[in-house]
């Protein structure tokens, strides 16, 4: 990975794992674990990318990726993706100023949560679904978006919107003033998505959106989800291997059966291929890689890892046998999150299509 901070990654990983990491068997119980937001804030994990002057660590997406990976290993409920990753990244693309800096500082210490109002099924941004209208003493925003990550719990909503002289990012308070945010139930109990409908909601602040900024954020989001999926499958492989060593059938550990050994070996191969692809995508997003090259890296990773995680988690269910099908095992939480991850910010088929489109002389498809 790039960045001068890579030597700290192991330390960062250890810190993150201490806070969020629990072995999957400890996931038992009917409710998913809730992320300890205070502990994440105290450890500085909410402000990794926030400049040091604003209370953050001044690090890069490469460091955020380390935490995302750990969150995948032990999925819990909390707006890390929506607030810490996407909202922060959107603000960092905006011009500095008091309003922006204040919100960034609050996100870094966890006193506020925000989200980027962007449909999480997006692979390519089609332009804003919100528009800004000037008023006597400011502006209001109106529009609607579905599938917005971590919308319901956010204090601030950052909406890409059509302004008088081009796309802007506007900040809206999630206080119900002309705004309706509705949670949408998901099979995956660890993520939250919702719809956001604004009708004349007051704009607190706004910044011009640089060209291509939202597409860059989509790439970042897809990579973040790929990191999460990598964590999911890595944890499932470890849990399965541990289980195969202790679970006895026919008088011996099931791990002594070739069928189980080879299935685990296949999982390992899948995980390692995914790890290499994700590392490349993280590197491309965190560094100044040219857009085309970055996009290809992201699509390679997301197209492969999205499906691979579902496959590995599915194998984990199979190898755990009846236990894998129980609620108490917690394995279902991984399978469901992997399934949702596969669809977020570009399904495998959409990313493959994007890769094909980028080939020289490829026909439109």
Partner 1 sequence: MQVPGSTLLSPEHREFRVICRKFVDERVRPFVSEAEESRTFPPHLWRQLADAGLLGLGFPEGLGGSGGDVRSVAILSEELARASGGIAITPLVSSYMAAPHLVRFGTPAQQERYLRPVLAGEQVAAIAVSEPGAGSDVAGIALRAHADGDGYRLKGTKLFITNGGIADVVIVAAKTGDGDGHRSITTFIVEQGQAGFTVGRPLQKMGWHASDTRELIFDDCYVPGERVLGERGRGFYQIMTAFQAERVVLAAMAVGLADASLEAATIYARERTAFGRPISTLQAVRHAVARMKTQTEAARLLTYHAAALIDAGEDASEEVAMAKLFAAQAANEVVDQAVQVFGGAGYLEEVPVAMHYRDARALRIAGGTDEIQLEILSKRIGL
Residues 246 to 275: which contact partner 1 by CB under 8 A? 257-259, 262
184 vs 248, beta carbon nearer partner 1: 248
Binding mask 200-239 for partner 1 (x = CB under 8 A): ----------------------------------------
Nearest-approach distance from CB 335 to partner 1, in angstroms: 24
Shortest Å, Cβ 95 to partner 1:
49
Q: What is the total count of residues that contact partner 1 (CB under 8 A)?
A: 4
Which residue, 243 or 345, has its beta carbon nearer to partner 1?
A: 243
Give the tokens for residue 313. 């988690």
Shortest approach of partner 1 to residue 358 CB, angstroms? 24
- Are the C-beta atoms of 306 and 350 separated by less than 8 Å? no
* Closest separation in Å from C-beta 261 to partner 1: 8
Q: Which is nearer to partner 1, 96 or 253 (CB)?
A: 253
Q: How far is the CB of 253 from partner 1 (least distance, A)?
A: 14
Nearer to partner 1, 147 or 257 (CB): 257
Burial class of 21 by CB neighbour count within 10 A (0 to 12, 13 to 18, 19+)? middle
Residue 88 makes CB contacts below 8 A (sequence gap 6+) with 47, 49, 50, 104, 107, 108
Residue among 144 and 248 whose Cβ is closer to partner 1: 248
Find the shortest distance in angstroms from Cβ 248 to partner 1.
Answer: 16
Report residue 37 as tokens: 């937001």
Rounded least distance, CB 252 to partner 1, Å = 12
- Give the residue with the Cβ less far from partner 1, 259 or 365: 259
* Element (DSSP H or E) covering residue 197: strand 193-208
To partner 1, the closest distance from the beta carbon of 361 in angstroms equals: 21
The rounded distance, in Å, linking the Cα atoms of 123 and 7 is: 33
Q: Tell which positions 271-330 bind partner 1, by CB under 8 A.
A: none
Taking the C-alpha atoms of residue 126 and residue 77, their distance in angstroms, rounded to an integer, is 30
On whether the CB atoms of residues 191 and 229 are closer than 8 A, the answer is no
- Name which of 259 and 359 has its Cβ closer to partner 1: 259
Strands 179-184 and 130-135: unpaired
92: closest CA among 111, 76, 114?
A: 114
Residue whose CB is less far from partner 1, 8 or 257: 257
CB nearer partner 1, residue 137 or residue 258: 258
Upper half-sphere CA count for residue 359 (Cβ side, 13 Å): 10
Please name the residue ranges forming H helices in 25-140.
37-42, 61-73, 88-92, 98-109
**Least separation in angstroms between CB 263 and partner 1:** 10
- Write the CB contacts of 29 (distance below 8 Å, at least 6 apart in sequence): 328
- Collect all residues with Cβ–Cβ distance below 8 Å to 216 and sequence separation of at least 6: 93, 291
For the chain, how big is the Rg over CA atoms in Å? 21
Give contact residues for partner 1 (rule: CB under 8 A).
257-259, 262
């Amino acid at each position: 990975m790039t960045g001068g901070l890579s030597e700290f990654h192991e330390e960062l990983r250890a810190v993150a794992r201490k806070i969020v990491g629990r072995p999957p068997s400890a996931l038992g119980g009917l409710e998913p674990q809730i992320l300890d937001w205070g502990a994440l804030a105290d450890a500085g994990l909410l402000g990794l990318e926030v400049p040091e002057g604003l209370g953050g660590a001044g690090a890069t997406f490469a460091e955020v990726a380390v935490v995302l990976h750990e969150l995948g290993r032990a999925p819990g409920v909390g707006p890390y993706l929506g607030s810490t990753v996407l909202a922060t990244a959107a603000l960092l693309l905006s011009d500095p100023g008091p309003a922006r800096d204040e919100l960034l500082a609050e996100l870094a210490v966890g006193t506020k949560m925000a989200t980027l109002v962007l449909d999480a099924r997006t692979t390519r941004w089609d332009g804003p679904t919100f528009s800004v209208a000037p008023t006597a003493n400011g502006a209001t925003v109106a529009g609607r978006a579905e599938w917005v990550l971590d919308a319901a719990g956010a204090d601030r909503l950052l909406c890409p919107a059509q302004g008088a002289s081009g796309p802007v990012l506007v900040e809206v308070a999630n206080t119900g003033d002309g705004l309706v945010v509705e949670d949408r139930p998901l099979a995956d109990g660890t993520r939250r998505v919702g719809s956001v409908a604004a009708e004349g909601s007051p704009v607190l602040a706004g910044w011009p959106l640089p060209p291509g900024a939202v597409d860059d954020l989509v790439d970042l989001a897809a990579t973040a989800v790929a990191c999460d999926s990598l964590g999911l499958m890595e944890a499932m492989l470890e849990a399965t291997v541990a289980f195969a060593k202790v679970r006895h059938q026919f008088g011996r550990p099931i791990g002594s059966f070739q069928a189980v050994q080879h299935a685990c070996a296949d999982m390992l191969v899948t995980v390692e291929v995914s790890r290499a692809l994700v590392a490349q995508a993280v590197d491309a997003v965190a560094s100044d890689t040219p857009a085309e090259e970055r996009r290809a890296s992201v699509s390679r990773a997301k197209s492969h890892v999205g499906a691979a995680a579902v496959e590995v988690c599915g194998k984990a269910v199979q190898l755990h046998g009846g236990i894998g099908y129980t609620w108490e095992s917690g394995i279902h939480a991984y399978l469901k999150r992997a399934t949702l991850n596969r669809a977020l910010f570009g399904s495998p088929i959409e990313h493959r299509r994007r890769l094909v489109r980028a080939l020289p002389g490829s026909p439109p498809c």
